Amino acid sequence: MSFNKKIIIGARGSRLSLAYANYAKKLIIQKNQLNANEVDIKIIKTRGDIFPKTPLSQLGGKGVFCKEIENELINKNIDIAVHSLKDLPTIQTPNLKIQSFIERNDPRDSFLSLDKQIFTKQKKGSRIGTSSVRRKLQLLNLKNDLEVLAMRGNIDTRIEKLKSKQYDGIVLAYSGLMMLGLENHVTEIFPTETILPAVGQGIIALQCRENDKNIISLIDRVSHKETFICALAERSFLESIGGDCDTAVGGYARIEGEKIKLEAELFSDDYKKVFKSSKTLHIEESQILGNSVGNDLLKQAGNNYKKKF
């Protein structure tokens, strides 16, 4: 396949984002038999990168890592946007399409500690850093005598904060550590039965303009069918509950033969209660599954949870 112009991939400038972009570039070149010089990567600064110390909720939520990249896509300065799926807002941006999902990496959360002891062996009052309200609540449910603190920054920055003893332990997505070859820092990997991950965790999403048929055909070739099905279920679930950056929610779908199973949990708005649901349907009903699990959790929560949209 040959294109009349160079294909431009847009991504954030962090080391992890560039690793995702380069991996996507490699797959696109391989699957479409392109030359390496036909595809370039453009670094785009996002609001989330410009204000690394400000809590995400104050900046406007998950979209702070995506909006500027999406604007470049809309303005045709790039052809493909690379995102971590869990960073994408629930509602899609008009005229853009999340077209392709690269095969999912390990979705689990991991724990890194100074003393190399697992999470439940941490001393009372230990300072644990995480960027996620979901993780904070899940961690305190496992062990409630710790101090779980908010933290920002890329993976390297967070690991340095741990090494400099600002925290006794930190929790990071294992997929990012794997991508950067930093698995040796990990003390413990939480089973999904213990810590349910964020919706879309471990999935790289490729976004394009919805009418760009050439790019759509190109990135369709790198999309992973099973990951696509699971992503649809998880995203449908998140949309059904009206979840956004402030929603403490976890969700994980996996395929078992011809069936897809979705497990999810939702914390109440006051963070004092947790509601759980798990259902299984045929893989062709992934979106129906997501909606069903979401409606089940909404019914359980009642007045304890208010949809954000």
Kindly provide the b/e burial profile for residues 3-14, where b requires at least 16 CB atoms within 10 angstroms of the residue's own CB. Answer: eeeebbbbbbeb
Give dist(CA 298, CA 181) in Å, integer. 39
Give whole-number Cα distances, 292 to 119, 159, 212, 265, 308, in Å.
33, 39, 33, 13, 18
- Maximum pairwise Cα distance, the chain: 62
244: Cβ contacts below 8 Å, ≥ 6 apart: 61, 62, 89, 90, 308, 309
Q: Active-site residue numbers?
A: 87
Spatial distance between the Cα atoms of 248 and 20, rounded to a whole number of angstroms: 26
Q: Residues 80, 208: contact at Cβ < 8 Å?
A: yes
∠90-95-96 over CA atoms, to 5°?
Answer: 55
